[in-house]
Structure 1
Amino acid sequence: MKLKNICLGIVCVAALSGCTDKMDYHEYTSYDKEYVFSDFGRTAGFVNNIYSYLDYDLLGTTSLASACDEAEMALTYSNVLDYTNGNWTALNPKSQWNYYTPIRAVNYYLKNAKDLDFYDLRFNQDYEEQMNRYKRYQYEVRLLRAYYYFLLVRAYGDVPFTTEVLTEKEANSMVRTPASEIFDFIVNECDAVALELPIKYSDLENDAAGGSTNPESGRVTRGMALALKARVLLYRASKLFNESEDKELYKDAATANLEVINYCNENNIKLGNYTDLWGADNWKASEMIFVRRVGDTDDPERTNFPIGMENAKSGNCPTQTLVDAYEMKDGSEPNPKDPYTGRDPRFAMCIAVNGDKWPNTNPDPLEIYVGGRNASPIAYATPTGYYLKKYVDGSTDISASTSSGGKRHSWVTFRLGEFLLNYAEAAFKYFGSADGKDDKFTMSAREAVNKVRKRTGVNMPDFPEGMNHDSFWSRYKNERMVELAFEGHRFWDVRRWKEGGVKSIDRVVITKNSDDSFTYTRNTKSLVWDDKMYFYPIPDTERRKNTNLTQNPGW
């Protein structure tokens, strides 16, 4: 396990800056715990560094969107292709083991940062404010630790678990703890810290109760605690972790996800415009529960803008499989000669097609037909017939002469739309019916899905009453693929459902005819899938250090 003694080298970040909208990271190194925890700024920096491990998948060259059926990576040298080409092994493990680093930092903080008073600051005007921040830190880091354990269990199933600060020898002799026990720990931690965290940091007032004249955002909240619990309980109920599909676990999941929905209703967190989910100000969108701030960057644009533009790489190209998930608004079948007109409005918001003027900085409409300026046979042109819009800022100029380094990007960790769908899934599995409900669950699975489909700017037709079991389940999975596209869910959903993984993706080849019409020819690319891929392999390097670590089946 990569668990080194923090006293030998702590990488921290400075305290929060005066900005109210993000944490400003400035690294420094310290070698002594008394030094770190004798100063509020250094203590805050230690906590902020724990935040720095929060995950995000902003559609770079290793995005998991291209490790499932959402997208195909155009850059044939990208190692994300290892997930689907047979090169994924315990020696090439795509390791998630690094989450033990912040987990150990949390354990270290909780052991060594107790009962601090920062006495030297007692005459400072903001002393009370800083002390109240310090008092919240213990709850913040406990929630972060719970989240990091979720990321590990999601990937590996049973994993080593501890809340103690271990020596290297102790760490490298641990055995794997059952996933069910870790799920219980996460749920209990969420319950324990939720009421100790604010709903919004901006709601805190500078008074004796412990408010702040400099509200911080980007920190974990009560909503994140409820959201993590709800997501964890859905995973625990899913077949990957619940082989018998015990309905009581789905009842627990439905209860927790309904609690998130009610929390959102009570705190004016509501569905808004779908396109508000990305862009420089997406962290302000009305349905956000927790957003991971990434900062100013143009990497998503450089990676995913269409080939043929200066500095563009094509990147994660949406598949025809994903395109097929976007229903026609009138319920009809797509016209083979005009396959995009009349689809779910989310399609045009997320996916760039032949003839689109995309991005804004592109002087010409896209030519994705064979021989076009954005298509084969140009090296690294889209292999699927599409380019990506979602999470990519179309107003960004990446040309060498004008590039400004990009705009703010933030990763959506938890938002209301997910929890309406989570609730729908759990309620459906519990009742065995899309229309089932009772005095406790007064909203049916079908009604929850329809709330998402009726969101501003989308307004898709309702799922009808009386859908049979297979029809609802198929369309629910389809709806989830569409609503949560490129938000980091699909790769994990196809695993927790345990319905066979991803064995192929569909693409389209577009040819231009002599009359300027187009022909769309579908083809299928086979992917390597083995059921061992439901879980990641334990990295071989870790098993060499710790012979007590058993390997996941098949690896």
Structure 2
Amino acid sequence: MKYYTYLIIFLGTIIATGCAKDLDQQPISNLSTQNFYTQPADFTQGLNAVYNSLRTYPDRILNLSETRSDNLYAVSDGGVRDWEGINSFHKTIAGNPYVIEAWNTNFVGIYRANEFLLALQNRGSIVTDEVLRRRYEAEARFLRAFYYFDLVKIFGRVPVTEEAVSPEEARQLQRSEVNKVYELILQDLQFAADNLPETYPAADRGRATKFSAKGILALVHLMRSAPTYDINGPGMGLNEYSQALTLLNEIIASGKYTFSQSFPDIFSYANENNSEVIFDVQYATGFTPVLGSTFPWLLAPDTWFQSQGKPTQGGLMIRPVSSSLLNSFEAEDTRKAFTIQTGYTFNGVAETRSFIKKYIDVSKTPANRLDWPINFIVLRYTDVLLLKAECILKGAAGSQADVDEAVNQIRVRAGLSPISSVSLDRLFEERRKEFVGEGSRWYDLIRMGKIDQIIPAWITAEDVQHQMQPFNKNYIIYPVPQPELDAAPDLYPQNDGY
């Protein structure tokens, strides 16, 4: 871990906890808030507070994307767990803590971004370096776009504001149509792509770069191009594959990233910030308050850690890998053993179900389960290569040979034989195995255009315990959290199907 890791989270936590009480009680225009910014270093601290809202992002996408998808058959084996309603398509999950966290944390991040941008507008002259001042603005706008993109993928329509509003003002904001949410996202990411640096010194590693912005912007174009499914979700049925391809090609042509020849090395605790990493959420350990991560153990059961002589972590029950995912791996695929633990024995009792262990290095198990020393990769170079193949198969410029080459790179790395004439269905099947446990599967299914076919068929084949509810297209997005509806009755309706 680099010094910047400590800076970004520690100072972000100071700003978030030290100022949050006052900021929650009064508008950002309050003079005391603005007077925080009296020297250039204050803007670094304020910006770090905006980054701080990334802290729970990995847990969120494992709970709301990975668990929701056909990668896990996560029905409860004892009591009702918060993730069961997510996995089993319960329609009464508006009060689910994972759903509430997704709304609240993203809007906290957006509030902090707006607060910071207002301070930069009013007192930015304190930062005399104009390039640095524009970089600060670009970072804040990148993060605001990132949080809004997360929201639109999860909830569809959400309130949009470019101002740091008070709680009272927030309760008057109507939800914006999806296209309006995307307008702000596109504007912010384009500004970020135009004004962020390509790289940073080691002390600032982890901040958003020009290529982070281009990569997320490419994903935005791809999600906007997904089918609408006749709901107010993230897909708009647009044909923006050429726009996405241009951005992806610019990342590839930059020469800043390379394809790792070792799959495990990408996730090695001793190889963080490697050449595959385009953007990640960074953590540090050994600090008070605790600044490490929790996502490594999120999908793993406590009894497995105990079987390894390690302390329990918090994964009380197993979230089993689905049979369809297990059976999708070819016998020679080396990714399976690295990614998935296929059974174990604890206290003489054999557990035959499998679970995802992709991020776990048992030798690095911390005494404090909230303090794992590993970053979470949001976007990596392999993803860029496969997203390019997706664009080509959807009609953007390129050849079948380009598609086959991208897929065969990951297959050869996994110990598999090359294939030819890769179809869109085969591409997404290869993506499924490559990105297990990285939270991308649910959104891949949406972009694929077959989520309303694949998930119902999967439930029929997989639900041996008859615990899952029938899937309908409204479940592509989540309900608006009940506390939001209760706080401002009649402000906006609940999403259909909930």
2:442 is the alignment partner of 1:488: no
- Corresponding residue for 2:300? 304
What are the equivalent positions in structure 2 for 1:121-200 lying under 5 Å apart? 133-200=132-199
Contact 1:61 1:316 in 2 (8 A): no
What are the equivalent positions in structure 2 for 1:526-541 lying under 5 Å apart? 527-528=468-469, 529-541=471-483
* Structure 2 unaligned blocks of 5 or more: 23-31, 286-291
2:118 is the alignment partner of 1:111: yes
What is the Cα deviation at residue 92 of structure 1? 1.9
- 2:420 equivalent among 464, 467, 470: 464
Between the aligned partners of 1:63 and 1:243, the Cα distance in structure 2 is: 17
Q: 1:59 to 1:184 in 2, by over 3 A?
A: closer
Question: TM-score if structure 1 supplies the norm length?
Answer: 0.72
- Corresponding residue for 2:250? 259
Between the aligned partners of 1:170 and 1:63, the Cα distance in structure 2 is: 29
**Matched residue SS, 1:316:** coil
Larger radius of gyration: 1
Between the aligned partners of 2:224 and 2:207, the Cα distance in structure 1 is: 26
Between the aligned partners of 1:45 and 1:242, the Cα distance in structure 2 is: 33
- Corresponding residue for 2:389? 424
Q: 1:453 to 1:190 in 2, by over 3 A?
A: same
- Corresponding residue for 1:225? 213
What is the Cα deviation at residue 128 of structure 1? 7.6
Question: TM-score if structure 2 supplies the norm length?
Answer: 0.79
- Tell me which amino acid in the other structure corresponds to 1:552: N
- Corresponding residue for 1:392? 360
- 2:258 equivalent among 255, 266, 269: 269
Contact 2:152 2:234 in 1 (8 A): no
2:437 is the alignment partner of 1:476: no
**Matched residue SS, 1:284:** coil
Between the aligned partners of 1:506 and 1:196, the Cα distance in structure 2 is: 49
Q: 1:165-198: CA deviations, max 9, x gaps?
A: 3344442222222222332332232222223212
- Tell me which amino acid in the other structure corresponds to 1:502: I
Q: 1:462-516: CA deviations, max 9, x gaps?
A: 2213x5xxxx2332221111011100111332344353263446999xxxxxxxx
Between the aligned partners of 2:466 and 2:407, the Cα distance in structure 1 is: 31
Between the aligned partners of 2:53 and 2:293, the Cα distance in structure 1 is: 20
Q: 1:105-131: CA deviations, max 9, x gaps?
A: 222221223364787xxxxxxx988x8
What is the Cα deviation at residue 71 of structure 1? 2.5
What is the Cα deviation at residue 273 of structure 1? 1.5
Between the aligned partners of 1:163 and 1:404, the Cα distance in structure 2 is: 37
Larger mean CA deviation between 65-74 and 420-429 belongs to: 65-74
Between the aligned partners of 2:153 and 2:369, the Cα distance in structure 1 is: 37
- Tell me which amino acid in the other structure corresponds to 2:210: R
Contact 2:407 2:427 in 1 (8 A): yes
Q: 1:394 to 1:141 in 2, by over 3 A?
A: same
Q: 1:292-330: CA deviations, max 9, x gaps?
A: 013335853486255462544453332222112212xxx
What is the Cα deviation at residue 90 of structure 1? 5.8
Q: 1:352 to 1:506 in 2, by over 3 A?
A: farther
What is the Cα deviation at residue 62 of structure 1? 4.5
Q: 1:100 to 1:168 in 2, by over 3 A?
A: same
Between the aligned partners of 1:165 and 1:62, the Cα distance in structure 2 is: 29
Percentage of matched positions with identical amino acids: 22
- Tell me which amino acid in the other structure corresponds to 1:537: P
Contact 1:67 1:81 in 2 (8 A): no
Contact 2:283 2:293 in 1 (8 A): no
**Matched residue SS, 1:29:** helix
> How many residues are matched?
452
Contact 2:281 2:377 in 1 (8 A): yes
Which has more strand, going by share of residues? 1
What is the Cα deviation at residue 446 of structure 1? 2.8
Which has more helix, going by share of residues? 2
- 1:448 equivalent among 391, 402, 406: 406
Contact 1:64 1:80 in 2 (8 A): no
Q: 1:49 to 1:88 in 2, by over 3 A?
A: farther
